[in-house]
Amino acid sequence: MKRIAFSLILSISLSAFAAEIQKTPKLGKVSMDEMKSTICPIDSSAQAYYIFEKGSTSFVYRNTTIREGDSGSDKGFQMVFKNHTRVKILDKAASDLGNFEIYLYNKGLNKEKIASIKGFTYNLENDKIIETKLDTKQIIYEEKTENHTIVKIAMPEVKAGSVVEIEYELISDFLFNLQEWYFQREVPVLYSEYWVGIPEYFHYKPSVYGYYPVHHHTTTAAKTISFTYTYRTDGRVTESKRHEYEERYQEKITTYYASHVPAFKKERFLKAAKNFLSRMTFELEGTKFPNSPYESFSSSWSHVSKELLEHESFGRVLNRNNFMDTEANGIKASSANEMEMVSNAFKYVQSKMKWNGVTTIFAKRSLKQSWEAGNGNSADINLALVSMLRTMGISAFPVVLSTQANGILPLSHPSLTDLNYVIAMAEVDNQTYLMDATDPLSALNLLPERCLNDKGHIIDPNRSGEISLATPNSYATYTQAILRMNEDGTFEGVARREDSGYAGMLKRRQFVTEKDSVSVIEMLEKRYPGIKIKSQSFTNLKAPQESLIDSLEMTLNGQTDVMGTMLTFSPLLVFKTEDNPLKLENREYPIEFSYPSREVIMCSIEIPEGYEIESIPDPLRVALEDRGIQFTFSVALNGNTLQAFSDFRVNKLQFLPTEYEGVKHTFAILLNKHNEKVVLKKIN
């Protein structure tokens, strides 16, 4: 996939037109102007806006008294992150902006913790500001994974007109995890600021993403740490001694800021907004402490692979696989060849283990425990699949990746913290097969869409490396309808739709949970007004590797306009495109497709006796210059049968912002042609 400008590390520079660093009010000092505001100053269509969002990260040496023989007394530096946010709610529909989530990381004895949280909701009643304080007892701490906790905060009394304000402090032992900062949100931000003070001992590389400019101002400050060492002397009398020492160092202080940041307006065909929002991240490249050599922390995928292979919850659990010998030997004995072994093992794990919805690269417990329990997280299940394949003698490896929602992996610094998912890979006859057994609707080389996020990395001492997650499968639908039109403008006949690849997966996900065919029919009749289904049957519903075929016998009404002796209708009837998915005037981020797609529609309509064609839509064939999108449309009369054909293909996975207008226009052409009318005239 072509890399685009957003992922480059951009330089941050001041200009003559740069915004100024602003002073913002303290917690609780809300103004009457803020309360009475009914429109966002920079976007009249906004349902809410951030009045300001300010953050800071500082390094604090908390334990300055160090006791001899007590290694725990020398904790070293900790990071303190503070956030102060104020949001104006203009419309009730945006009241969810009064909910906040804070993510905490922990590993072993080290952890991130909330030191304090304060919050208020302000409402205007009879020209008086009414303040409602956040009840901290209502805050929810949810353990997302073994290493991650989400702090969920729901502010009280949030309604249209409210101003919501929150301030919190987070303390972290993880110096590699300097808090990232978002300057852009899904609603406008009037002012955003991030203050970062870094001691000279730490070397971080800042990276800026997105399209909106961020400015900065840098200064330095002299800092001092006063240490006290306590120790005991040996001799005739044991004494406690104290030694005091001052360490002086320089702190680099940088204030990053942006003002009048427009809302990030999401539209279809976007994997993750995180990839394109204006934001900052910081990579710890290395440290240089007094009287110590420089220590590099810049990682490589070989380092990541080594760490995972030695990790108790990854490489080590993977090697303990003798518990599944019986099942593996049974599958091996019943399979004709290695390809069948892979397919059967995959299906067996899919049916035996149920996913609990947790995405992670680390097993929660031993694979034997998860296997016996019949459930687990993404690592439990897919590491078990790798283990089973290896037990059968198949070349199999774990592949780690970042899901679409988690964002694309950064180019500059491989890191365990950027990974949140693991799948299985097998090699048979020089062919590679990727599998995710968490999803019962997935198949060989048909990964769930969440996994289709550029590249993954094979973790193995002898076979490590990068692998493309792009699928050899596409999204393909083929709809064929054979109908007879009645004189009253209604239609009756049969339709057959074949969904293959990702179209089949999505269709199965939509229908497989339905308890019976009646509920599926009701769903279809609700989706397509005017359709009445007499009978329906599925073929290959429970065979994800095969095309899903949906056959219908039906009648249609409400598709025809009667104008005197004329009948007019779209020749694609209910199968036509109803809406253009691209609506933004401008789009500053790429259009992203997870897979190529093709949608073919063929309608054969027998026209009623006593009518003749007055006019039909003209044929059309269009394509973008690089054939990234192609569209063919035609309507023809063969005897008394009208034959309409539409073929729409998306061949390219990514279109740059400069290509947006062309793609949007092609969708508009598709929409217009699908809605053009056939006109029938009654013969006198």
Q: How confident is the model at residue 233 (pLDDT cuts 50, 70, 90)?
A: low
Beta strands in 96-201 (DSSP E): 99-107, 110-125, 128-133, 140-143, 148-154, 163-172, 181-182, 189-199
Q: What angle do CA 59, 62, 66 make, to 5 degrees?
A: 130
Which among 391, 404, 381 is positioned nearest to 456, based on CA atoms?
404
The backbone torsions φ and ψ at residue 368, rounded to the nearest 5 degrees and listed phi first, read -65, -45
Strand order across the beta sheet in which 531-539 lies: 531-539, 548-556, 491-501, 475-485, 597-606, 641-650, 629-638, 620-623
Domain ranges within the chain, ordered by starting residue: 5-57+77-218+253-296, 319-468, 475-682
Architecture of domain 475-682: Sandwich (2.60)
pLDDT at res. 651: 96
Helix pair angle (325-334, 338-352), 10° resolution: 130
What is the third-level CATH fold of 319-468?
A: C8orf32 fold (3.10.620)
DSSP state of 512: T
pLDDT digits (tens, 9 = 90+) for 469-526: 988 889 999 999 999 999 999 999 999 999 999 999 999 888 765 555 567 778 788 8
pLDDT at res. 4: 36
pLDDT at res. 237: 47
Q: CA–CA separation, 490 vs 550, rounded Å?
A: 22
> What average pLDDT does range 91-101 have in this prediction?
96
Q: Tell me: pLDDT of 290 over 90.
A: no
Cα dihedral 629→669→647→562 (10° resolution): 170
- Whether 575 and 552 have beta carbons less than 8 Å apart is answered as no
Residue 521 carries which side chain, given as an amino acid letter?
I
Q: Tell me: pLDDT of 7 over 60.
A: no
> What average pLDDT does range 533-545 have in this prediction?
90
Which among 651, 653, 669, 649 is positioned nearest to 661, based on CA atoms?
669
Cβ atoms < 10 Å from Cβ of 491: 23
> What average pLDDT does range 39-52 have in this prediction?
97
Residues near 372 by beta carbon (within 8 Å), at least 6 away in sequence: none
Q: How confident is the model at residue 239 (pLDDT cuts 50, 70, 90)?
A: low
Q: Tell me: pLDDT of 69 over 60.
A: no
Q: CA–CA separation, 133 vs 117, rounded Å?
A: 11
Pairing of strands 99-107, 110-125: antiparallel
Which among 234, 237, 245, 239 is positioned nearest to 66, based on CA atoms?
245
pLDDT at res. 6: 36
Of 3.40.800.10, 3.40.605.10, 3.40.50.12780, 2.60.40.3140, the CATH number of 5-57+77-218+253-296 is 2.60.40.3140
Q: Which CA distances in Å does 50 have to 93, 162, 194?
A: 15, 12, 15
Residue indicated by tokens 């609707």: 441
pLDDT digits (tens, 9 = 90+) for 400-432: 999 999 998 877 678 788 899 999 999 999 999
